[in-house]
Each structure stands twice: as structure tokens, then as C-alpha cells.
Structure 1
Amino acid sequence: MGNFYSDTYWSDMHAPVRRKLLMGSVGAKHLFDTGVLALESDPQLGVELLLAAYVFDPLDGNVATQLSRIEGLLPLFPRSVAACISSLLACWQRPDNLTYFQRIASKHDYVKVKKYILSCLEKEPENLFWIHLGMIHARAAADFEFGLELPVGELPNEIQPAIDLAKSFFNFMAGNDAVAFPLLMSASDVFGLNNLAHIIASVALKLGERETAMSVLSGAVDAQPWRVSEALRLYDLACSLDKKTVPLPGSLAVLLYSFNKAEELDATLASLHRSELNGASIFMLDNGSSDGTSEVISKWQSEFGVQMKRIDLPVNVGAAAARNWLMKEPQVQECAFAVYLDDDVEVAQDWILRLGAAVDAYPDAGVWGCKILDYSVPAVMQAVDMHIIQPEGEEGEGPEVDLARITPNPFRCSNLHLYLLDSGYFDFMRPCGSVTGCCHLFRTQKLLDNGGFSLFLSPSQYDDLEHDLRSCLKGDFPVYQGHLGILHRKRSGFASHTDVAQEGNAQGNRYKMQAMHPRSEILRIMADEERLLQSDLEKKMQYLVRKGILAG
């Protein structure tokens, strides 16, 4: 083993930096924060991370400004990158008053936002602030053609590589892979092949160039072994886990519950009917619905026949109680596995076999989950592998529970994916701290042994996370299957915060969940997960060295 892949590489790293990097090596904000943290303990690592952070969005004047304020940093960057940053700052002019733009953006009226940005660009065609803002909204709405059509005025030559890089991304997301690839390779001459390894690998894979994808990823990890996300993706490509499907080693119960979402449930059951169920039994609970849900269930029961069992409750008992009701069904308990599905998802045809591959790779997991994508904008990731963290400023010891605070025991799940679109960054399989309840698979006995979903967290929100925390405390950590994507019709994140009652319930349940688990338990979970992530990563890197894929 070479020095890069020995146990000491990660063990010798400054602990706060190690914790952040083990979560992933993607995203401008994440890499910037980690880079600043690393500067004091390992200046070279800090510079590499800050350069990588900038390359993730090289037209972002805010990041460029922050980098320019770090004393002595820019001369350590490649000369062409430093010149690009200096030119960007000269062409970046943030308007003094953005009140009107913020008002229309808050209403999510994309048509009006787009029109406003174009009108501002017409007045200031060389102001990179408006060009970058247009690209942000093109990504948010997955309007990749708009990203490609954004007018760009006469700009200094030093800026052109950043423009080319942005155009290559939009071309890739729009499916113009043959156009994206040469643009990416040209941009790599300025920004470095290592910093573009993920996106180059994604384009290469779509073009059928698997060896090229692996070569680019291995080169990046060999040169900079802190690239955890690249290493995880490389391992899965080397082992063909991205293509692997395996039948579950036992019978399966598919568990659904629904309340007054007839249209969404109809689409969910249709996708389930199209998929390869491999003899799975379906248990459908109507949670006291008063719309057309009952008729939808009857319609699909005639399609599935004896494969589906329906359960009708007279009132809505909430998500947690519905999950508990389903897991206590005698026929469910006879199955080796049980998977919960939300009533507003669309599953892939081979979804069970993909979950089977995760079970095959990590048979002792507490639960297996997958990548959840926005149904309306599939490039938007709602959930991936999530890790339990403490917010900035809350790290370390403190009172076990402080009921006087709105966050009595501050912890949350990581959210690296919220700053990125789905372009290969989370295409890997590994343990994590939590997986979303939209689609999560259990060994039935472990599900029963872990106890029911907490009724304190009714009617919904955080009951799946709290259930995962109890599993983690037993040492049964979840596993994320990033090679399976499930489409989810419910909006998540900021876009979902439109119902005051639902938002109030979510905040109340977060408070209760934090009060249920004292700080000492959360710190224990975080420490155990960090050791697990490091061990998993080291084993995979050692394998890649043995196979000659990494130099070692």
C-alpha cells in the first residue's frame, strides 16, 4: 500500500476536515467551507479544496470575491485560473437594489423571472452578475436550453474558459453529449482534469466510453486522495455495481398507505404494476380517505388480483401509525423483507432488483434506501445518502437537551445534494446515517425488532429519520443505493414550504424528535458513522490499488 491509501492518510487528517470530506467531495459551498477549515492544518489540501470549490461554479462572483479576500491564495492557483477570477471580479457588478427580483423569485414565477433577467442582460450585456443569475435559474428550472441561449456580451478572453465550462454543463444536461465533451476537455486545460473528473466521467459514460470515465476518476483520486465521491464512484464502476441487479434473498411485502391523494396513488400503483415485482405481495392501506382513493384501490386490486391486499381504516391515523399497522399485519411478518413506498412516487422497472443489489453488497444494513428525484424536474435530487451532522457553531459537547430552545438538541441531515443537479455526483452505494422514507427496504425481523415508527411524530414528518436513529444506535446503519432513482411528486426543500399547517407540524416534530435523542446519543451516532464511512472507503480504495486501478 502506498502512503495515500494507508490507514494513516485519513487518521492523520485534521478531524473536522476529515468529517466533512467523508460526507463527500462535491459542491462549491461544501468544498469552500472544508477548504477554509483545512488551510491552517494542511495548507496544500486547503488550496486544492478551494480551487475545486471555485471550479464547481466559476462564474459565481460571490465565491470569487471570498477567494480573493484570503491573503496569498490566488497566487497559489494556476495562473490561468487566477486570471479568470480577476477578470470575473472586474465584470461582476451586483445591483444595489434587488427587491423586485427577490419578490418575483419568491413566488416561483419562472417565466417572469426569466423575462426579467433577459431584460437586465439587454441593458447590461457584459455584467456577469446577470449571466450567472440566469444560469442559476436555468439549473433550478431544468431549462437547460435557456442556459445555452443566455446572451453573453463582449468579455475578456480570460473569462472564456468559465463560459465554456458552463455551456458544457448545460449541453450535457440537455443531452448534447457530443458537444459537451470537447468543451469540457478544453476547459480542463485551464481548470484541471481532476476538478472536472465527475462531469467528464458522466459524459464519457453516456457516450459509451466506460474506460475513459474510469481513467479520469482514477487519475483524480491518485493525485488527490481526498476525493471521496470520485473514489466511491470509481469503485462502483470497477465492480459494475452501477449495472448490477440481484433478486432479494427472500419474499417481499410492498407496503403503501394513502390519504386523499387518489390521482397520485393511481399513478404510483400504475408504475408499480409496470415494474418487475418478482412475486412480491402488495399491502395497500386506505388511511380514512374521503376522495376517490377507495375507487382507485378497487381498480388496481382487480389488476393485481390476489397479489394485493387492501386495508381500509375509518379515519386518518397518520403516517407513523399507518406504517405500524402495516408492519403488524401477520402476512407481512411472514415475509423476509418489507419495503415502504410513498403514495406519490414512480418506481423504475427494476427497482426491487436494484435494492437487491444493495442487500447483496451490504447484507447487514438496518435499512436500504435510494436516490429520490423530483418528478417534475428529475434533475433535482430531493434525497441521497444523508449523514447526521451538527450545524455550524453547535459542534461538540453541550447540554443533553435544552427544551427552552427551538432546537433542543441541534442536529440535522447533510444536504450536499441540494446545491447540485443529478449528474453523477451521487452515483455510488455506501453506508450512511439516514435514507428517506419515500422508498426504504427492511429485513422484516429487523424492522420489528427496532420497534414501531414513533406516534409522537404524527401525523407525519421525521418519523422515518427518528426510526433510522434508533437503528444507528444499535449499530445497524442504513445503506444508500445511488444506482436506483425513484421519482417523487411531492416537492421538497424550500419549494415545499407553502402550507403553513404542514410547515408548523414539521417544525414541531423536529423539536420533538430532537428532544427524544439527547446530545450524547447523537454524538455517538456521528462518531460511529464516521468510523464506518472511513472503514468502507479504505476497503474500497485498497481494492482499487490491488486491482491496479489506483497507483497506491
Structure 2
Amino acid sequence: MSIKKQERAAGEFGALDLGAAAASYRNYLNTFQIDAPLAASFINRVLAEGPMQLPPRVARLFEQAVKAAVQLSPFDPDILHIGGQTGLFPNIETVRKVLLATNPEPQVYEEVRHALFKHHAEDIRKICQGMLTRHPMAVVFADLLLRVDLYEGRAPDPLLQRFQCPRVLAPLWEKRRFDHFATMGDDANALPLWERVAPLAQGDSFTLSRAAELWRRQGDLDTCLELYAQAQALDPLTTPYALRMQALRQPLVPNHALVQEKSVCICLYSFNKAQMLGETLESLAGCQIGPARILVLLNGCSDHSREVVARARERFPHNALDILDLPVNVGAPAARNWLLSQPAVQQSEYVAFLDDDVYLQPDWLAHFLTVAEADPRIGNVGCKVVFPGEHALLQYLYRHVSVCTEQAIRVSLPTPYLQYDIGLYDVVRETRVVMGCQHLLRVAALKDAPWFDIRYSPSQIDDTDHDLQLCLAGWKVWYCGTVTCVHRQNSGTSVRSALNWAGQGNVMGNDVKFYYKWLEHWQALRALDSVGCTALAQAE
């Protein structure tokens, strides 16, 4: 039996033999706190082998995936069935029977649970609302409605106040509600639930980690660390718990003097986004950037972007701000190269790139320079990127090479699925790829990777490709999670992007270009796995 879920990594795991799939899953555990779809995908890959004695390392990962899936999807009948079959949750069949008994229309449920929230969230909501109106004890539809609420960053739908949860499942539903609020960082609603939820959370590393950050935000660091220690003891394979505890005990202290001491050139390029560009420059003006020079390239703009940038000069009385006009839009990679070729950049120690649709943390440059100056081989520093909104959904963290064979070359996912910024990734760590909407390059490193590849025009993947060039040349890429960039992304393939079919075609085309560019170097790329994963595996 397989788990039917919205599977993101199914194709990746399915393209690998069992040992390689296990190694890829282990890499994810070293990178992120696993989400339900990815755990389900790995479970399906293992089950596809049929009855067999799993190697000890694969068996341990399979057990972790099953536990994670059950913890994250406690009202999914298929996942609970797997949990019961494995013997890891011997009493879970009772929960599953209640779910099946209270599901009034299984066929409808099977159809809507497979629909993508990105395209059908409102339709799913209406179906669940209608079902709960007619059948107020329909647990699976209540759970699905709450998942749509999480996707849209909402408090629970008002209709859920009338949901009549079966008594035997009431404690589990209470924990489900706590997880919803704590996942979004909604402390006002999460805190009152914790006392009742705490006993049930003792066996759930995900709930414990959410509670840890909840107590950190209340100023109780000791309780936060205690809860994280419990989560790590339950799930020692998930590296982010250990990294977060280390960061909490020894937080990064930015050296603000570096902003004055180091020569930095800050570069932006834009195409017909006058209002957004103006708001980005306004945000930049509120930052501590010292004497940094600012270059703004107008990439064939036909709107009033030039006037917006010219007016912004008055916001930077202590900084030189130059405008570069291009008669046509040459695309993102060529625009970056044009800026990199400027004498002001070549004469600087560092060059920072900012997208034209971001809101910036005021002390971002001090954090980036502190990380970069810690090691002369660090060639690029990036940050945590979130979507705008009251509850900040993670958009991009960091990536590594996840699959690298002669048949397929892929980088890992940029974030776990549908996780909000509660603090878990406020860490500093080495990686392979960071997002290009806000990052700091060491100019000396550019001698080994001087240009962004114009074959990826007009956009997408060029920053990923450039980071891998740096890594293969011996430079390091670091993620600085103490800096948060709010990115109003309307391109790319993220969960909330507004990419049309033509844009999707461009991304797919660039994926093909990426594969064929790196095919002859696939063995070198393969060595760029998740940083530290090999050492961790040897220590297990």
C-alpha cells in the first residue's frame, strides 16, 4: 500500500535506487525539518521495494519518516495505516477507524485531498465548509479545512468552531489546533492551549520544536532549550534542532564597525517596477550601510523608474548613487554582469545584490560582513527569505545538490513545504546555494566565477548556477539566518508565486539548460552534497 499525498520529491526518490534514495532523504534531514509530503514520498519509495529486510541505515530512516508523517498528519487515514502496519504506533488503528467512520463521502475526500492548494484552495475550502455544515463530525474534512487555513496564513475557519470532534479524538484535535497557531507564530492563540497539549506533545518532536520557539518569543530561553533538547532526543537525525540550540546558546554578534571599514557596492536592477523599486530604495535608506556606493541599473525601463530613483538620491546623503540606463531589457544574468563590470564594483571588497521588490532588515549588512569576514574563503553570504504577510511563510532558505547522476541533476528544495518563520532557521551555516534576491559576494571570489550565465535569460537559476561555480572553484557559500528578507516574489515556482504558463516554460527550459551545462561535471557536482552530512552519517 502506498500513501497518496501531494508528493514533491516522488520523482526524485523514484529515479534513485534504494541506497541513493536513503542518502538523499538523509541529506534533507541534515537540511530541514521534514514536512509531511516529503516524508510520505520517502515512505512510498521504500515500500515500492516490496517485502524485504531493510539495511539498518535505511530501516532507521524509514522509521524516522513514518514517525514524522504520523506526527504531521495525525488525521490522514493512509498514513495512520502505515504507522499501524510498521508496529511503531500499535494503538493508532482506533484513530483510523474513527476517521473512516466519520467520513461521509470518501470519494469526495479522495478527490479534494489531492488537489493543489496553490490552484484550488478556495474550491477546497467551499467543499469542506459544505461537508462540515451537513456532517459536523467529519474529522478528515475539518483537518483538510485547517490545512487550507494554514496555507493561506489564516486563523481557523469560523465554521470549525461548530466542528463536533469525536470525544476519543478531542486531545489530538486540540494538539492539532496548537500546532496550527504555533506554526504561524500566533502566540496569543497558541499559549492558552499549551498546558492541555503539553502531555500529548512529549512524543512529538514537531510540536516540541514549535513550543520551543513559542517560549523563546516569551523570553524563556531555558524552557525553549529544554523543549528543543527533548525534540532532538526524539529525532536525533534532524540536524536543524542541534544547529538551533547552538545558535541560541552562542548567537551571532554582528560587528557593526565593519559597515564603515569595508568597501561595499550595493547593486539593484529593475524592469518597469517603478513603485516597488521606490519602496525597496526607501527600505534600503533605513538600513545601516555606512559609505556603501549604490548602483541602480534600469533594464530597458519604459515607466517612470528613472524619476523614482533620481528622487531617491535625497534619501542617501552619505552615499554615491549612480543610475545606469540600458535601452533594452537584457535579462537578469546580463544585468548582473553589467553591474559587476563597473569600476565601482571592481574596486570594492564586496558587492551586494538586491532585488527590486524586497523589504530589508536594517542591520543586514553588518550581519553579512561579520559572517564573510570570519573566513577569507567565503565567497557568498545569503539570508532567510520570506513572503510578506502577518505570518511570514518561508520562501527560500538554502540548497545543496540533492541528485547528481548522468540521468538527472537537481538541487534540493529551497524550503520545507508550508513552514512559517518561527525562528527554527535563525542559524548561520555553510551551504551550497542561497537566494539571489539579497546576497553579498566577495569581489575577490569573482575572479573564479566572473559572470552569471546569460543562457538562463531572462531569469531563474542563474544565481543557483553561479553559487555552484563558486563552490567548485573552492569558495564557500554561507547562509546567515539572522537576516530576514521580505520578498514580494511574483516569479519562480514557489508556493505563492504568480507564475504564468509562459514563465513556467522558461523555468523548465532553464532546468534543461542547467542539466546539459553541468552533465560533463556531474561527478564534481555530486561531491557537493549537504554540508556536513557525510560526517554526520559516519557518526551515527
Please, what TM-score do these two structures have when normalized by structure 1? 0.82
Q: Which moved more, 1:375-384 or 1:130-139?
A: 375-384
Which aligned pairs between 1:20-39 and structure 2 lie closer than 5 A? 20-34=28-42, 37=46
Structure-2 residue corresponding to 1:405: none
Structure-2 residue corresponding to 1:267: 279
Q: Which moved more, 1:30-39 or 1:193-202?
A: 30-39
Match of 2:143 among 117, 129, 132: 132
Structure-2 separation of matches of 1:98 and 1:198 = 30
Match of 2:262 among 244, 250, 256: 250
* C-alpha distance 185-428 of structure 1, shift in aligned 2 (>3 A): farther
Structure-1 residue corresponding to 2:299: 287
Question: What count of residue pairs does the alignment treat as equivalent?
Answer: 506
Establish whether residue 118 from structure 1 lines up as the match of residue 126 from structure 2.
Answer: no
Structure-2 separation of matches of 1:18 and 1:173 = 24
Structure-1 residue corresponding to 2:15: none
Structure-1 separation of matches of 2:495 and 2:198 = 34
Cα distance, 1:231 vs structure 2: 0.8
Cα distance, 1:88 vs structure 2: 3.4
* C-alpha distance 89-368 of structure 1, shift in aligned 2 (>3 A): farther
Structure-1 residue corresponding to 2:171: 161
Is the CA contact 2:430–2:476 (under 8 Å) kept in the aligned structure 1? yes
Which aligned pairs between 1:81-92 and structure 2 lie closer than 5 A? 83-92=94-103
Opposite residue 66 of structure 2, the aligned amino acid is L
Cα distance, 1:139 vs structure 2: 0.9
Structure-1 separation of matches of 2:438 and 2:104 = 45
Cα distance, 1:50 vs structure 2: 1.6
Deviation track 1:471-519 (CA, whole Å, cap 9, x = no partner) reads 121232321112221111123525435423322222222211211101x
Structure-2 separation of matches of 1:430 and 1:288 = 37
Cα distance, 1:78 vs structure 2: 6.5
Establish whether residue 386 from structure 1 lines up as the match of residue 394 from structure 2.
Answer: no
Give unpaired runs (5+ residues) of structure 1.
1-12, 391-395, 400-408, 542-551
Establish whether residue 41 from structure 1 lines up as the match of residue 66 from structure 2.
Answer: no
Opposite residue 132 of structure 2, the aligned amino acid is L
Is the CA contact 1:431–1:533 (under 8 Å) kept in the aligned structure 2? no
Structure-2 separation of matches of 1:478 and 1:417 = 20
Opposite residue 443 of structure 1, the aligned amino acid is R
Structure-2 separation of matches of 1:145 and 1:92 = 20
Structure-1 residue corresponding to 2:290: 278
* C-alpha distance 152-228 of structure 1, shift in aligned 2 (>3 A): farther
* C-alpha distance 107-426 of structure 1, shift in aligned 2 (>3 A): closer
Structure-1 residue corresponding to 2:76: 60
Is the CA contact 1:125–1:151 (under 8 Å) kept in the aligned structure 2? no
Other structure's SS at 1:369 match = strand
Structure-1 residue corresponding to 2:6: none
Is the CA contact 1:366–1:478 (under 8 Å) kept in the aligned structure 2? yes
Cα distance, 1:104 vs structure 2: 10
Q: Which moved more, 1:48-57 or 1:231-240?
A: 48-57
Opposite residue 190 of structure 2, the aligned amino acid is A
* C-alpha distance 96-103 of structure 1, shift in aligned 2 (>3 A): closer
Structure-2 separation of matches of 1:93 and 1:276 = 58
Is the CA contact 2:452–2:462 (under 8 Å) kept in the aligned structure 1? yes
Is the CA contact 2:295–2:322 (under 8 Å) kept in the aligned structure 1? yes
Q: Which moved more, 1:90-99 or 1:521-530?
A: 90-99
Which aligned pairs between 1:447-458 and structure 2 lie closer than 5 A? 447-458=446-457
Is the CA contact 1:362–1:479 (under 8 Å) kept in the aligned structure 2? no
Other structure's SS at 1:126 match = coil
* C-alpha distance 274-224 of structure 1, shift in aligned 2 (>3 A): same
Structure-2 residue corresponding to 1:547: none
Structure-2 separation of matches of 1:165 and 1:99 = 24
Structure-2 separation of matches of 1:458 and 1:183 = 50
Structure-1 separation of matches of 2:479 and 2:464 = 14
Structure-1 separation of matches of 2:327 and 2:210 = 51
Opposite residue 290 of structure 1, the aligned amino acid is S
Structure-1 residue corresponding to 2:360: 347
Cα distance, 1:278 vs structure 2: 2.3
* C-alpha distance 447-538 of structure 1, shift in aligned 2 (>3 A): farther
Give the alignment's Cα RMSD to 1 decimal.
3.3
Structure-2 residue corresponding to 1:417: 416
Which aligned pairs between 1:365-514 and structure 2 lie closer than 5 A? 365-376=378-389, 378-390=391-403, 397-398=405-406, 409-491=408-490, 492-496=493-497, 498-514=499-515
Structure-2 separation of matches of 1:362 and 1:83 = 55
Other structure's SS at 2:323 match = strand
Which aligned pairs between 1:88-107 and structure 2 lie closer than 5 A? 88-92=99-103, 95-97=106-108
Structure-1 separation of matches of 2:537 and 2:410 = 27
Structure-1 separation of matches of 2:221 and 2:429 = 21
Is the CA contact 2:28–2:34 (under 8 Å) kept in the aligned structure 1? no
Other structure's SS at 2:476 match = coil
Opposite residue 46 of structure 1, the aligned amino acid is F
Other structure's SS at 1:512 match = helix
State the identity %.
27
Structure-2 separation of matches of 1:182 and 1:376 = 24
Opposite residue 431 of structure 1, the aligned amino acid is E
Structure-1 residue corresponding to 2:210: 199
Please, what TM-score do these two structures have when normalized by structure 2? 0.84
* C-alpha distance 170-495 of structure 1, shift in aligned 2 (>3 A): closer
Is the CA contact 1:320–1:453 (under 8 Å) kept in the aligned structure 2? yes
Which protein, 1 or 2, shows the higher relative CO under an 8 Å CA cutoff with sep ≥ 6?
1
Cα distance, 1:469 vs structure 2: 1.6
* C-alpha distance 184-228 of structure 1, shift in aligned 2 (>3 A): farther
Structure-2 separation of matches of 1:258 and 1:312 = 10
Establish whether residue 529 from structure 1 lines up as the match of residue 529 from structure 2.
Answer: yes
* C-alpha distance 531-340 of structure 1, shift in aligned 2 (>3 A): closer
Is the CA contact 2:295–2:324 (under 8 Å) kept in the aligned structure 1? yes
Cα distance, 1:189 vs structure 2: 2.4
Opposite residue 218 of structure 1, the aligned amino acid is A
Cα distance, 1:263 vs structure 2: 1.1
Give unpaired runs (5+ residues) of structure 2.
1-20, 48-52
Is the CA contact 2:300–2:328 (under 8 Å) kept in the aligned structure 1? yes
Is the CA contact 1:472–1:525 (under 8 Å) kept in the aligned structure 2? no
Other structure's SS at 1:316 match = coil
Structure-1 separation of matches of 2:218 and 2:159 = 24
Structure-1 separation of matches of 2:274 and 2:25 = 47
Structure-1 separation of matches of 2:203 and 2:460 = 42
Structure-1 separation of matches of 2:379 and 2:101 = 53
Is the CA contact 1:31–1:53 (under 8 Å) kept in the aligned structure 2? yes
* C-alpha distance 93-192 of structure 1, shift in aligned 2 (>3 A): farther
Structure-1 separation of matches of 2:348 and 2:375 = 19
Is the CA contact 2:431–2:478 (under 8 Å) kept in the aligned structure 1? yes
Other structure's SS at 1:478 match = strand
Is the CA contact 1:61–1:92 (under 8 Å) kept in the aligned structure 2? no
Is the CA contact 2:372–2:380 (under 8 Å) kept in the aligned structure 1? no
Match of 1:232 among 229, 237, 243: 243
Structure-2 separation of matches of 1:35 and 1:182 = 35
Deviation track 1:67-124 (CA, whole Å, cap 9, x = no partner) reads 34xx3x2x43274x56444533443456424799699977858666544432221012
Is the CA contact 2:300–2:327 (under 8 Å) kept in the aligned structure 1? yes
Cα distance, 1:299 vs structure 2: 0.9
Cα distance, 1:180 vs structure 2: 2.0
Opposite residue 517 of structure 1, the aligned amino acid is W
Structure-2 separation of matches of 1:35 and 1:99 = 19
Opposite residue 501 of structure 1, the aligned amino acid is A
Structure-1 separation of matches of 2:74 and 2:115 = 26
Other structure's SS at 1:235 match = helix
* C-alpha distance 98-181 of structure 1, shift in aligned 2 (>3 A): closer
